[in-house]
Chain A
Amino acid sequence: MDIIREMVRNIAIIVVLTSLLEMLLPVSNMQRFVRVVMGLFIIITLLNPVLALVDKEVAFQVSGPMVGREGELAGILDKGKALSEESRSQAMAQYEEKLGQQVMAVAQMVPGINLNQVKVKVKNETGANQGEIKEIRLVLNTEPPKEAKDPNQGGIQGVDPVKIEVGSQGGEEAKTALAGQEDNLDGETRKRLIETIANFYSIKPEQVHIESNR
Chain B
Amino acid sequence: MKNKVILVSMFILFFLYPTVGQAASSPPANPGEQEVVSAQLNNLDLTAIEEYVAKIDREITQYVPELDIRDALTKLAKGELDFNSMDIFNGILKYLFKELVANFKLLGQLVILAVICAVLQNLQSAFEKGTTGTVAFAVVYLALISLAIGSFTIAVNIGREAIDNMVSFMNALLPVLLTLLAAMGGLASAAIFHPLMVTVLGVIGALVKNVVFPLLFFAAILDIISNISERFQVSRLAGLFRTVGLGLMGIFLTVFMGIVAVQGVAGSVADGVALRTAKYATGVFVPVVGKMFSDALEAVVSSSVLLKNAVGLVGVIVIFILCAFPALKIITVMFVYKVAAAVVQPIGEGRIVACLSAMGKSLTLVFAAVATVGLMFFFAITVMVGAGNMTVMLR
Q: Which residues of A come within 8 Å of B, CB atoms? A: 1, 4-5, 8, 11-12, 14-16, 18-19, 22-23, 35, 38-39, 42, 46, 62-63, 65-66, 69, 72-73, 75-77, 79-84, 86-88, 90-92, 94-95, 98-99, 122, 128-133, 200-202
Q: Is the CB of B43 within 8 A of A202?
A: no
Q: Is the CB of A133 within 8 A of B194?
A: no
| Interface pairs (5), CB distance under 8 Å | A8-B218, A15-B234, A35-B231, A66-B195, A81-B187
Chain B residue numbers with a CB within 8 Å of A75 are 175
Chain B: interface size category: 35 or more
Nearest 8 CB-CB pairs, A to B?
A80-B182, A65-B202, A131-B293, A83-B183, A19-B229, A95-B296, A91-B300, A87-B300
Chain B residue numbers with a CB within 8 Å of A90 are 35-36, 39, 300
Q: Is the CB of B39 within 8 A of A86?
A: yes
Chain A residue numbers with a CB within 8 Å of B184 are 84
Q: Is the CB of A80 within 8 A of B179?
A: yes
Chain B residue numbers with a CB within 8 Å of A38 are 232
Chain B residue numbers with a CB within 8 Å of A65 are 198-199, 201-203, 206
Contact of A1 among B183, B210, B285 (CB under 8 A): B210
Q: Is the CB of B195 within 8 A of A73?
A: yes
Q: Is the CB of B292 within 8 A of A99?
A: yes
Q: Do A201 and B288 contact each other (CB < 8 Å), given the known contacts A66-B198, A83-B304?
A: yes
Q: Is B299 an interface position by the 8 A CB rule?
A: yes
For chain B, residues 254 to 307, give those with C-beta under 8 angstroms from any C-beta of chain A. Answer: 281-282, 285-290, 292-294, 296-297, 299-301, 303-304
Q: Is B385 an interface position by the 8 A CB rule?
A: no
Q: Is the CB of B282 within 8 A of A87?
A: no
Contact of A23 among B40, B138, B226 (CB under 8 A): B138
Q: Which residues of B come within 8 Å of A, CB atoms? A: 32, 35-36, 39-40, 43-45, 131, 134-135, 138, 175, 178-185, 187, 190-191, 194-195, 198-199, 201-203, 206-207, 210-211, 214-215, 218, 221-222, 225-226, 228-229, 231-232, 234, 237, 241, 281-282, 285-290, 292-294, 296-297, 299-301, 303-304
Query: Given the complex of chains A and B, what is the CA–CA distance between A126 and B2 in angstroms?
Result: 56
Chain B residue numbers with a CB within 8 Å of A19 are 138, 228-229, 232
Chain B: CB-nearest residue to A39: B232
Contact of A11 among B40, B222, B297 (CB under 8 A): B222
Contact of A131 among B175, B191, B195, B282 (CB under 8 A): B282
Taking the closest CB of chain B, its distance from the CB of A165, in whole angstroms, is 18
Q: Is the CB of B232 within 8 A of A18?
A: yes
Q: Is the CB of B293 within 8 A of A130?
A: yes
Taking the closest CB of chain A, its distance from the CB of B295, in whole angstroms, is 8
Query: Given the complex of chains A and B, what is the CA–CA distance between A87 and B180 in angstroms?
Result: 11
Query: Given the complex of chains A and B, what is the CA–CA distance between A66 and B174 in angstroms?
Result: 14
Query: Given the complex of chains A and B, what is the CA–CA distance between A189 and B229 in angstroms?
Result: 110
Query: Given the complex of chains A and B, what is the CA–CA distance between A178 and B168 in angstroms?
Result: 64
Taking the closest CB of chain A, its distance from the CB of B267, in whole angstroms, is 13
Q: Is the CB of A80 within 8 A of B187?
A: yes
Contact of A15 among B32, B195, B229, B287 (CB under 8 A): B229
Chain B residue numbers with a CB within 8 Å of A82 are 43
Q: Is the CB of A94 within 8 A of B32?
A: yes
Chain B residue numbers with a CB within 8 Å of A73 are 190-191, 194-195
Contact of B40 among A4, A83, A99 (CB under 8 A): A83
Contact of B237 among A46, A77, A94 (CB under 8 A): A46
Query: Given the complex of chains A and B, what is the CA–CA distance between A13 and B371 in angstroms?
Result: 34
Most buried by A among B185, B201, B286: B286
Contact of B190 among A12, A77, A99 (CB under 8 A): A77
Query: Given the complex of chains A and B, what is the CA–CA distance between A91 and B281 in angstroms?
Result: 16
Chain A residue numbers with a CB within 8 Å of B292 are 95, 98-99
Q: Is the CB of B290 within 8 A of A131?
A: yes
Taking the closest CB of chain A, its distance from the CB of B273, in whole angstroms, is 17
Chain A residue numbers with a CB within 8 Å of B185 are 84
Q: Do A76 and B221 contact each other (CB < 8 Å), given the known contacts A1-B210, A62-B206, A66-B198?
A: no
Chain A: CB-nearest residue to B141: A19
Taking the closest CB of chain B, its distance from the CB of A3, in whole angstroms, is 11
Q: Do A87 and B288 contact each other (CB < 8 Å), given the known contacts A4-B218, A76-B179?
A: no
Q: Is the CB of A87 within 8 A of B175?
A: no
Q: Do A79 and B182 contact each other (CB < 8 Å), given the known contacts A15-B225, A69-B198, A130-B282?
A: yes
Chain A residue numbers with a CB within 8 Å of B241 are 4
Q: Is the CB of B191 within 8 A of A23?
A: no
Query: Given the complex of chains A and B, what is the CA–CA distance between A16 and B198 in angstroms?
Result: 45
Chain A residue numbers with a CB within 8 Å of B234 are 11, 15, 42
Query: Given the complex of chains A and B, what is the CA–CA distance between A26 and B201 in angstroms?
Result: 58
Query: Given the complex of chains A and B, what is the CA–CA distance between A22 and B221 in angstroms?
Result: 21
Query: Given the complex of chains A and B, what is the CA–CA distance between A42 and B229 in angstroms?
Result: 13
Query: Given the complex of chains A and B, what is the CA–CA distance between A19 and B44 in angstroms?
Result: 65
Chain A residue numbers with a CB within 8 Å of B221 are 8, 12
Contact of B179 among A83, A88, A94, A130 (CB under 8 A): A83
Chain B residue numbers with a CB within 8 Å of A133 are 289
Chain B residue numbers with a CB within 8 Å of A15 are 225-226, 228-229, 232, 234
Q: Is the CB of B203 within 8 A of A62?
A: yes
Chain A residue numbers with a CB within 8 Å of B202 are 62, 65-66
Inter-chain pairs besides A4-B241, A12-B221, A65-B198, 7 sampled, C-beta below 8 Å = A4-B214, A79-B182, A80-B187, A83-B304, A86-B40, A87-B303, A90-B35
